[in-house]
A = this chain, B = another copy of it.
Amino acid sequence: MTPTPPQTSGQQDVDTRERLLASGAELFAEKGFNGCGLAEVLRHAGVPKGSFYHWFGSKEEFGIALIERSRDEYMDLVRPVLSDRKTGPIQRLRKAFELGREHADSEASTDVCLVTRLALETGNLSQSVLAAVKCVHQQWNALIAQILREAQASGEIGPGEDPDRLAGVLLMLWEGATIRMQIERDARALDDFLDLVFDRLLGRN
């Protein structure tokens, strides 16, 4: 279905696909899915249109690949932190979000998590892209809920909390902070998020 990565022919071809994805991630995060035409992605990547449609069936399919890539990248970044058994669950969670903050700080200030960026475009996103966004959200939600359950088991948070619901709230706060950052062009919103969640909401540690 999707072209398989080449085995013998060197890396020029992989390069093309990878260049497209990198350009797409950058430009879509900055301008949104509908706000950026293929021509611009192509120009930025230095790839002709024919090559694009060799690797991807449509702009939509390209978008979904980008969403999944974005999730995988973030997961890779965060996994070692989350699975570090030397620190408590809440502290691990905090570190994971701090990684996200640092990421936002290091990029151009307009650059924001692609998944969040696409989330508010849902109204004019196609059904399949929307589904991909939703799916990643659920995965993140489950991941956070898992950590919260650990925290509950170790007594770091009260047994009365619903981990799934609390995870949803955390994710939702993070998204709000991301919009705020986007408007104000200032990562301070993410600091406010960290303060709020870890000092006041899950506090006393």
Instruction: List A155-205 residues whose CB lies under 8 Å from chain B.
Output: 165, 168-169, 171-177, 179-180, 182-184, 189, 192-193, 196, 200-201
Q: Tell me whether B175 and A180 are in contact (CB under 8 A).
A: yes
For A175, what are the chain B residues with a Cβ–Cβ distance below 8 Å?
A: 175-176, 179-180
| Distance between A101 CB and nearest chain B CB, rounded to angstroms | 14
| The residue from B35, B110, B134, B183 contacting A119, defined by CB atoms under 8 A apart | B183
CB distance B123 to A179 under 8 Å? no
B123 with A31: CB separation less than 8 A: yes
Complex Cα spacing A169 to B196, Å: 8
- Total interface residues on A, CB under 8 Å, equals 41
Q: Is A117 an interface residue (CB 8 A)?
A: yes
* A205 CB, nearest partner CB in chain B, Å: 17
Interface pair B189/A121, CB less than 8 Å apart: no
For residue A173, which residue of chain B has the nearest CB? B176
B168 touches A189 (CB 8 A): yes
Q: Which residue of B lies closest to A193 (CB)?
A: B172
The reply on A32 being an interface residue by CB < 8 A is yes
Interface centre among A29, A174, A175, A189 (most CB of B within 10 A): A175
Q: A32-B121, A123-B110 are in contact. Are A192 and B180 (CB under 8 A)?
A: no
For A32, A116, A192, A196, which residue has the most chain B Cβ atoms within 10 angstroms?
A: A32
| Residues of B with C-beta under 8 A to A183 | 119, 122, 130, 133-134, 137
A-B CB proximity, top 6 nearest: A176-B176, A35-B124, A120-B120, A172-B176, A31-B124, A172-B180
- List 30 A-B pairs, Cβ < 8 Å: A29-B123, A31-B124, A34-B34, A34-B35, A35-B124, A110-B123, A116-B120, A116-B179, A117-B120, A119-B182, A119-B183, A120-B121, A122-B182, A130-B183, A168-B180, A168-B189, A168-B192, A169-B192, A172-B173, A172-B180, A172-B189, A172-B192, A173-B176, A175-B176, A175-B179, A175-B180, A176-B177, A196-B201, A200-B201, A201-B201
